[in-house]
Structure 1
């Protein structure tokens, strides 16, 4: 009785190695997929929650300190601050 293993052709060895690597890659994918799914779902939840309610310290309520003046009053104030006799408003850029 011959107990030696048959020698494989180099192409068969490469194919067997490829299938072994692919099999382990598949098993590790099955192991890691639930963890990545959990990370994705919790990250999406955090993103939506922060978008709806705001992050801590992000929303600051400010009370207005001055009344908004009409453009004509603003232009007159700018003209008065430069030179009241000869100044004129040339351009307004919104």
Structure 2
């Protein structure tokens, strides 16, 4: 259902995720008055985990950039794949 909303109905992914989460919570038997609290608690837990991953990824990316690893990696793929395969389309 989530994919149908995003792909066919062209609903924004975040909005589609909220709608499907609401429907799943109601289908699971969670009282309507508690659905909001459950969704907020779930989002908070996920957001905390994702924030740590994004933060560590940003730090690792910065270290690779400063060490010259990013340029080295880009040059390697450019040599192996050619310029046409690396272009953004």
Could you tell me the TM-score, scaled by structure 1's length?
Answer: 0.38
Structure possessing the higher radius of gyration over alpha carbons: 1
* Greater helix proportion: 2
Could you tell me the TM-score, scaled by structure 2's length?
Answer: 0.40
Which structure has more relative contact order (CA 8 Å, sep 6+)? It is 2
